[in-house]
Structure 1
């Protein structure tokens, strides 16, 4: 009788190990939805903002192309320096890329300053207005410019803080 108890325990232990091994394999091969967050590989937080043209833009609207979400301000010299580079990038890769410039409107004197800045430089990519700074806080923007590079599924490919050349942008976008 003592021997039978050991056999039952052994069978239960083996059964448990087989179950756990099977679960581990199933969990490892199960396709996972990326976590929301601000690390490379994560899905960044969704947002909805008004653009300078009066439309509404969300991250979902630009899914399917690579996306460059650039946080900037008119009074930021490095931001101003990279804007023409962003325009060239958008012009050369318009079928596969969306440049979305998120203006820190709460840090501007007026919306007219933003409109004038964009018009004077003939910039044609969409400019979203972060009127209350909420999106900038969500994206942990502590310096300008800060850029998030997203893949076609909306996951973060790369993050950059500071001005970039067109070549650097292409490299970070994996174009």
Structure 2
């Protein structure tokens, strides 16, 4: 019996390899595709309470009650922020295309990763004003690259969360005490010493 031609054997092997390559994603699932499908750069936001006045030359919201809100992370995990007297918060609003945000986020990420926060204090990041043609888009990947140590809240496409907290420029920081009252607002890159000072002002009295 004649043996098969080497050309026929090689052709069969190539065909089998191509078939395996085509079937592999169907049989195993493409993890990267699945993960990206779960990530959305905008998420729904629900605000309860009056919006804070927009910062315009002076910090006009000091002493006012901050609105409560329900929002989600990039992956769709629900986050609800209310004020029950137990947790003071420092909330930073960032835009992926903002040069000062690009400088501040990695600095704050490293600081938070190496720092034990005071009892009853929480630092949150909000991604807002995302633009598909801007630097570092998508913001979800940007925060991941910068190793932000925790969940990032995704604003909706209209920027509802930022507008409700008086956002006018980036970065924007707002310090809220445990009872939900605005302690201070700051626009622009702050640096770690300034953020430490803000944080000290929202430590709950019982801590």
User: TM-score, normalised to structure 2's length?
Assistant: 0.59
- The aligned counterpart of 1:98 is 122
Q: Tell me how many residue pairs correspond in the alignment.
A: 140
Structure 1 alignment gaps of length 5 or more: 1-34
- Residue 123 of structure 1 and its aligned partner are, at CA, apart by 0.9
Specify the SS of the correspondent of 2:122.
Answer: strand
CA distance in 2, matches of 1:78, 1:145: 7
- The aligned counterpart of 1:45 is 67
2:150 to 125, 135, 141: 125
Across the aligned residues of Structure 1 and Structure 2, the Cα RMSD in angstroms comes to: 2.7
Alignment of 1:99-114 (within 5 A): 99-104=123-128, 106-109=129-132, 113-114=138-139
Specify the SS of the correspondent of 1:67.
Answer: strand
Structure showing the higher helix proportion among its residues: 1
Deviations 1:4-45 (A, max 9, x none): xxxxxxxxxxxxxxxxxxxxxxxxxxxxxxx97451122112
Structure 2 alignment gaps of length 5 or more: 1-49, 54-60, 202-207
- Residue 163 of structure 1 and its aligned partner are, at CA, apart by 0.7
- The aligned counterpart of 2:140 is 115
Q: Do 1:71 and 1:101's aligned partners in 2 also have CA atoms closer than 8 Å?
A: yes
Specify the SS of the correspondent of 1:92.
Answer: coil
- Residue 114 of structure 1 and its aligned partner are, at CA, apart by 1.5
Alignment of 1:14-163 (within 5 A): 37-38=52-53, 39-60=61-82, 64-87=86-109, 88-89=111-112, 91-93=115-117, 95-104=119-128, 106-109=129-132, 113-132=138-157, 133-163=159-189
- Residue 63 of structure 1 and its aligned partner are, at CA, apart by 6.2
- Residue 62 of structure 1 and its aligned partner are, at CA, apart by 8.7
Deviations 1:75-124 (A, max 9, x none): 111112111333314633164321111111x4331997112111111112
User: TM-score, normalised to structure 1's length?
Assistant: 0.68
- The aligned counterpart of 1:164 is 190
Specify the SS of the correspondent of 1:49.
Answer: strand
